[in-house]
């Protein structure tokens, strides 16, 4: 269960990837800015030198040399270039040493390298240049050093590099921070999971409450853990309950058999003990069967067997099944089901639930009592109510009694109560109905359900 | 046990060779053959011994393939098939046989108690289903019931000895005495009359007559049977409904 390193690098890597993309964008933007700027500056220079060249060319031939010199004056940054050459290429005026061979004359502005000669010496410079052949064959060159553009280039690149460096630092820091944060969270999750694996089922994954994906995942896992916890607790209690409830009949069987073996002197004396033992084992088996049945119902999630069940008819049928049984105990069993209500459900299971309630009622109501099965409405919902005039249960026992295997002490001698009610509870829960034990004299169980529209 | 009417109680021994509706070819031994497909040797041993004691000839197969082969080859009267078998499971065996149009009745045994499983067992072609941890009596009664499945007779009047049940008029009489039956009692009596001389266990009655798949916690069947018996067997008449202690009930014409 080692997650951290892997998750750590992945966080880090994604941070780096984001940074890389950002850097690429920045370079692209700077590139475009630079390109546009240099195009603009170059166009400006071109316009300027073209204008100077035009004016110089338009002047009188004798004054053209002076005009070039005029243009070159007042140039503290030493960016202006100009020259007048005769048709043989000999310099007549200006600060350009010679006509470069690659220079296209009368071809507009172009970038060339010109050699500058002035009071500071000789220097080759890259420049935008226009060359023009004058009417008398002389060549006029006007240029401007490209340094300004280059300087801007340099400045922009420096700024970009600095910015990128700063961004890289911030990015790395953020990545590291994110990394550490998720690392911590994962370590915490890891720690809790190990606690859970070690058996601390109460542990839950930490949540921050800000609904990020991690949080949602943690909530999901926590929900799952809730289910697992209740399932395991259920299982444990089922195990305990089985052990507890089987111990009694099995002990009785054992004692009975032991005594019979010691005391019986003939086969016929042994027989009752054997019969009793078989009855005891049957009882034990019926407990296991009922438990498995409850389990089965509780684990049923599908509703495919569901159909429209006529509740009144079902109650009458249960009444019909139990009437002779009640009569034997001198109990009056009445069914009051005048409302016709239908419900979505599994008919066999619903029958089993109601039958179990009536079964309990018959068992617990003393002779001469009454049992009533009634179908009624309570607002929107339908209610099946099974009530008797028996001893009922105490206030505190009502909730507990629905829990598996719970038996109210007074009834311990009557077998099967706890299981019967657990079964009813499981069936009711499967259907999404509500089971309640009403506070009333006698035992009153109510199943509330949502009837389907007729 | 509830207070029960004083009733004729006897130990009922089903003897396969004396079954009333058995038609024996002259010269052949009239022994009914059971093929038991069960992987647990101890269970198989107990079941075989019990069946043999009752006069059945038992053949045993310990796995699905073996069982399928034996079921195809031999003339078997009934199959008892465990649901879970090594190799080929019980349901597949039954399905295969049914596809091959083998109509031999099948009793499915299973350790799975689920109702769903029961439904699956019956749907795949089993004729009856018994959950393990059953009483041997229960098994015997079911085997017997499957072997003597009532023919769907077109008769609308059923007769057992002096007892007569008119299915159309919904009336019952014993000799000259008319018997007034509630609908539920009528259903129960009809079921028993179609299976006279047969041991009917409580579980069988509950499943077949009431059509309920759960085991009631109370002795409901006994109570209903008690009612019916009081109506059928009058105070001075020889009894027809027998309570076989701990096992079930039999309807039998008085000797």
Q: From chain B, pick out residues whose CB is under 8 angstroms from the CB of A351.
A: 212
| Cα–Cα distance for residue pair A389/A372, rounded to 1 Å | 9
- With CA atoms as reference, report the closest residue to A296 among B90, B218, B142, B213: B213
More confident residue, B146 or A236: B146
B226 touches chain A (CB under 8 A): yes
Reported as a single tens digit per residue, the pLDDT across A34-53 is: 888 888 888 988 998 898 88
Q: Is residue A71 part of a domain?
A: yes
Mean pLDDT along residues B99-108 = 89
Averaged over A84-104, what is the pLDDT?
A: 85
Q: Do B216 and A286 touch (CB under 8 A)?
A: no
* Cα torsion through A157, A161, A164, A168, rounded to 10: 170
Q: Of A272, A279, A349, A366, give the one whose Cα is nearest residue A314.
A: A349
Task: Say how many CB pairs under 8 Å bridge A and B.
Answer: 57
Out of A249, A275, A298, a domain closes at A298
Answer whether B213 sits within 8 Å of A348, measured CB to CB: yes
**Partners of residue A348 in chain B, C-beta under 8 Å:** 115, 212-214
Determine whether domain B22-147 maps to CATH 3.40.50.2300.
yes
> Are A238 and A378 members of one domain?
no
Distance from CA of B213 to the nearest CA of A (A): 7
The dihedral built from the CA positions of residue A327, A333, A337 and A343, taken in this order, carries a sign that is negative
CB-closest option in A278, A320, A416 to B217: A416
- Residues B112 and B130: their CA atoms lie apart, in Å, by 10
CB-CB contact of A195 with A188 (8 Å):
no
Q: Are B242 and B250 in contact (CB under 8 A)?
A: yes
Q: Which CATH number fits domain B157-251: 3.90.1150.10, 1.20.120.1200, 2.60.40.2550, 1.10.10.10?
A: 1.10.10.10
Residue pair A99/A141 in contact (Cβ under 8 Å)? The answer is yes
For A110, the domain range is 63-146
Asked whether the beta carbons of B136 and B47 are under 8 A apart, the reply is yes
Indicate if A314 and A279 belong to the same structural domain: no
The confidence score (pLDDT) of residue B51 equals 92
Put simply, whether the predicted model's pTM sits higher than 0.90 gets the answer no
Q: In this structure, are A89 and A126 located in the same domain?
A: yes
Same domain, A318 and A438: yes
Mean pLDDT computed over B199-223 = 81
Q: What is the pLDDT of residues B7-17, one digit of tens each?
A: 444 444 444 44
DSSP string, A91-140: EEEESB-S--TTPPTTS--EEEEEEEEETTEEEEEEEEEEEEE-TTS-EE
Q: Is the distance from CB of B112 to CB of B182 less than 8 angstroms?
A: no
CA distance B134 to chain A (A): 9
The 3-state DSSP class for residue B10 equals coil
CATH of the domain at A223: 1.10.287
Express as a percent the part of chain B with pLDDT over 70.
Answer: 82
Give the span between the Cα atoms of B237 and B248, in whole angstroms.
Answer: 21
**Mutation choice for A interface testing from B123, B223, B227 by most A CBs within 10 A:** B223
Pure H helices in B63-135: 64-73, 90-99, 115-123
The model's pLDDT over A97-145, given as tens digits with 9 standing for 90+, comes to 888 888 888 888 888 888 888 777 888 888 889 988 888 888 888 988 8
Residue A21 lies in a domain: no
For testing the chain B interface, which of A321, A359, A365, A424 should be mutated: the one with the most B CBs within 10 Å?
A321
Q: What is the pLDDT of residue A405?
A: 40
- In whole angstroms, give the CA distance from residue A160 to residue B161: 114
The minimal CB distance from A286 to the residues B210, B212, B215 is found for B215
Q: Where in chain B is the domain with CATH 1.10.10.10?
A: 157-251
Residue A432 and residue A331 in one domain: yes
Residue B86 has pLDDT above 80, yes or no: yes
Distance from CA of B41 to the nearest CA of A (A): 22
What pLDDT was estimated at residue B172?
Answer: 93
Q: Which run of H or E residues covers position A434?
A: strand A434-438
- How many angstroms separate the Cα of A249 from the Cα of each of A283, A311, A436, B98? 7, 37, 30, 43
Residue A377 in tokens: 């409405």
Does A367 reach chain B within 8 Å, measured CB to CB?
A: no
Per-residue pLDDT of A395-419, as tens digits, reads 767 666 655 444 433 333 344 445 7
Predicted pLDDT at A184: 86
Given CB atoms, is A57 within the 8 Å cutoff of chain B?
A: no
Contacts of A356 (CB under 8 A, 6+ apart): A420, A421, A423, A424, B217
Closest CA in chain A for residue B3: A328
Paired sense of beta strands A121-133 and A139-145, if any = antiparallel
> Quick one: tokens of B206?
């509950």
Say yes or no to pLDDT of B73 above 50: yes
Same domain, A381 and A271: no
Structure tokens belonging to residue B193: 């009359």
Residues in CB range of A335: below 8 A, 6 or more apart: A315, A316, A318, A319, A372, A373, A374
Structure tokens at A425: 């509870």
pLDDT of B4 > 70? The answer is: no
The whole-number pLDDT of residue B23 equals 45
- Residue B7's pLDDT is 45
C-alpha to C-alpha distance for A56 and A83, rounded to whole angstroms: 11
Domain count, chain A: 3
* Residue ranges of chain B assigned to CATH 3.40.50.2300: 22-147
Last residue of a domain, one of A298, A315, A349: A298
Q: For residues A93 and A387, give the distance between their C-alpha atoms in angstroms, rounded to a whole number.
A: 128
Q: Is residue A121 part of a domain?
A: yes
Mark whether A319 and A386 lie in a shared domain. Answer: yes
**In angstroms, rounded to a whole number, what is the distance separating the alpha carbons of residues A407 and A354?**
19
Whether B222 contacts chain A with CB within 8 A: no
ipTM: 0.76
Q: How far is B22 from chain A (nearest CA, A)?
A: 33
pLDDT at residue A206, as a whole number: 84
In a shared domain, residues A234 and A280: yes
Quick check: B78 and B36 in contact, CB under 8 A?
no
Contact call for A362 and B216, based on CB within 8 A: no
Residue A402's pLDDT is 57
Q: How far apart are CA A300 and CA A290, in angstroms?
A: 15
Quote the pLDDT of residue B20. Answer: 40
Say whether residue B123 is in contact with chain A using an 8 A CB cutoff.
no
Q: Tell me if A286 and B133 make a contact (CB, 8 A cut-off).
A: no
CA–CA distances in Å: residue A56 to residues A70, A72, A84, A141, A157: 10, 12, 10, 10, 38
Supply B130's token pair.
Answer: 């018994």
Residue B189 pLDDT exceeds 90: yes
A352 in the same domain as A222: no
Q: Which of B217, B219, B225 to mutate to test the interface with A (most CBs of A within 10 A)?
A: B217
Considering the domain architecture, whether residues A360 and A435 belong to the same structural domain is answered as yes
Cβ B234 vs Cβ B254: under 8 Å: no
Residue ending a domain, among A255, A278, A298, is A298
Instruction: Return left, alpha or beta for A293; rule: phi > 0 is left, psi -120 to 50 is alpha, else beta.
Output: alpha
Neighbour count for residue A42 (Cβ, 10 Å): 17
Residue A319's pLDDT is what? 92
- pLDDT, mean over chain A: 82
| Helix/strand/coil for A321 | helix
Q: What are phi and psi of A400, to 5 degrees?
A: -60, -30
Task: Spell out which residues of chain B touch residue A293, defining contact as CB-CB under 8 Å.
Answer: 113, 214
For A232-246, b/e burial (b = at least 16 CB within 10 A) is: eeeeeebeebbeebb
B14, B144 Cβ separation under 8 angstroms: yes
Same domain, A139 and A250: no
A262 with A384, same domain? Answer: no
A190 vs A78, residue with greater confidence? A190
Strands B106-110 and B128-131: parallel
Any chain A CB within 8 A of the CB of B11? no
Cα(A17)–Cα(A6) distance, integer angstroms: 16
Quote the pLDDT of residue B232: 92
Q: Residue A10 pLDDT more than 60?
A: yes
In tens, the pLDDT along A161-180 reads: 888 888 888 878 888 888 88
Q: Name the helix (H) or strand (E) containing A373.
A: strand A370-378
* Residue A307, beta-bridge partner list: A345
Give the distance from residue B109's alpha carbon to the nearest chain A alpha carbon, in angstroms: 15
Per-residue pLDDT tens over the stretch B167-180: 999 999 998 899 99
Confidence of residue B113 (pLDDT cuts 50, 70, 90): low
Rounded-to-integer distance, Cα B101 and Cα A282, Å: 39
Q: Tell me which chain A residues have a C-beta less than 8 angstroms from the C-beta of B212.
A: 348, 351-352, 355
A354 has a pLDDT exceeding 90: yes
Three-state DSSP class for residue A258: helix
Beta strands in A269-357 (DSSP E): 307-310, 332-336, 342-345
Tokens describing residue A435: 């089971």
Q: Highest mean pLDDT: which of A14-23, A330-339, A434-443?
A: A330-339
Residue A408 sits in a domain whose CATH number is 3.30.565.10
Q: Which tokens belong to B85?
A: 């078998």
- In this predicted structure, what is the pLDDT of residue A74? 78
Q: Which of residues 412-451 of A touch B (CB under 8 A)?
A: 415-416, 419-420
């Amino acid at each position: 269960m080692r997650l951290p390193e892997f998750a750590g690098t992945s966080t880090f890597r994604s941070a780096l990837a984001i940074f890389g993309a950002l850097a690429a964008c920045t370079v692209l933007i700077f590139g475009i800015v630079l390109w546009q700027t240099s195009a603009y500056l170059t166009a400006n220079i071109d316009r300027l030198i073209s204008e100077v060249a035009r004016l110089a060319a338009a002047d009188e031939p004798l004054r053209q040399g002076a005009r070039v010199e005029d243009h070159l004056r007042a140039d503290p940054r030493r960016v202006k270039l100009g020259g007048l050459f005769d048709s043989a290429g000999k310099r007549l005026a200006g600060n350009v040493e010679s006509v470069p061979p690659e220079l296209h004359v009368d071809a507009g502005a172009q970038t060339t390298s010109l050699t500058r000669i002035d009071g500071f010496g000789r220097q080759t410079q890259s420049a935008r240049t226009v060359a023009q052949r004058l009417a008398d064959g002389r060549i006029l060159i006007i240029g401007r050093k490209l340094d300004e553009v280059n300087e801007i280039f340099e400045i922009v690149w420096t700024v970009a590099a600095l910015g990128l460096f700063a961004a890289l630092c911030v990015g790395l820091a953020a990545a590291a921070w994110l990394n550490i944060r998720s690392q911590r969270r994962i370590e915490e999750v890891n720690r809790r999971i190990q606690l859970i694996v070690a058996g601390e089922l109460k542990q839950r994954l930490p949540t921050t409450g800000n609904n990020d994906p991690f949080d949602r995942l943690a909530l999901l896992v926590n929900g799952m853990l809730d289910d697992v916890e209740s399932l395991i607790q259920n299982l444990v209690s089922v195990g305990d309950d089985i052990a507890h409830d089987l111990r009694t009949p099995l002990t009785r069987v054992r004692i009975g058999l032991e005594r019979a073996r010691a005391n019986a002197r003939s086969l016929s004396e042994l027989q009752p003990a054997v019969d009793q033992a078989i009855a005891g084992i049957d009882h034990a088996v019926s407990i296991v069967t009922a438990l498995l049945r409850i389990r089965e119902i509780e684990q049923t999630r599908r509703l495919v067997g569901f159909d429209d069940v006529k509740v009144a008819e079902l109650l009458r049928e249960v009444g019909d099944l139990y009437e002779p049984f009640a009569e034997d105990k001198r109990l009056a069993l009445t069914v009051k089901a005048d409302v016709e209500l239908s419900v979505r459900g599994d008919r066999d299971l619903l029958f089993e639930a109601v039958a179990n309630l009536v079964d309990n009622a018959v068992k617990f109501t003393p002779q001469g009592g009454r049992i009533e099965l009634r179908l009624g409405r309570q607002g929107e919902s339908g209610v099946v109510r099974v009530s008797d005039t028996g001893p009922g249960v105490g206030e505190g026992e009502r909730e507990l009694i629905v829990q598996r295997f719970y038996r109210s002490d007074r009834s311990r001698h009557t077998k099967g109560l706890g299981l019967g009610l657990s079964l009813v509870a499981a069936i009711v829960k499967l259907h999404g109905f509500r089971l309640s034990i009403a506070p009333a004299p006698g035992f009153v169980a109510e199943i509330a359900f949502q009837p389907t529209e007729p | 046990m509830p207070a029960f009417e004083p009733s004729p109680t006897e130990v009922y021994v089903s003897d396969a060779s004396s079954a009333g509706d058995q038609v024996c070819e002259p010269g052949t031994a009239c022994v009914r053959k059971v093929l038991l497909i069960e992987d647990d040797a101890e269970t198989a041993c107990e079941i075989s011994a019990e069946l043999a004691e009752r006069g059945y000839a038992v053949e045993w197969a310990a796995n699905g393939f073996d069982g399928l082969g034996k079921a195809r080859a031999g003339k078997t009267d009934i199959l008892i098939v465990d649901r879970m078998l090594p190799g080929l499971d019980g349901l597949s065996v039954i399905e295969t046989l049914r596809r091959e149009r083998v109509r031999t009745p099948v009793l499915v045994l299973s350790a799975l108690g689920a109702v769903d499983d029961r439904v699956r067992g019956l749907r795949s072609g089993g004729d009856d289903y018994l959950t393990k941890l059953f009483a041997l009596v229960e098994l015997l009664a079911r085997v017997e019931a499957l072997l003597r499945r009532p023919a769907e007779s077109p008769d609308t009047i059923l007769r057992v000895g002096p007892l007569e049940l008119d299915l159309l008029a919904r009336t019952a009489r014993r000799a000259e005495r008319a018997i007034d039956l509630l609908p539920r009692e009528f259903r129960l009596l009809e079921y028993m009359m179609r299976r006279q001389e047969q041991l009917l266990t409580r579980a069988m009655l509950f499943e077949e007559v009431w059509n309920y798949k759960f085991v009631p916690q109370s002795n409901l069947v006994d109570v209903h049977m008690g009612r019916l018996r009081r109506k059928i067997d009058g105070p001075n008449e020889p009894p027809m409904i027998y309570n076989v202690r701990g096992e079930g009930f039999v309807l039998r014409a008085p000797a």
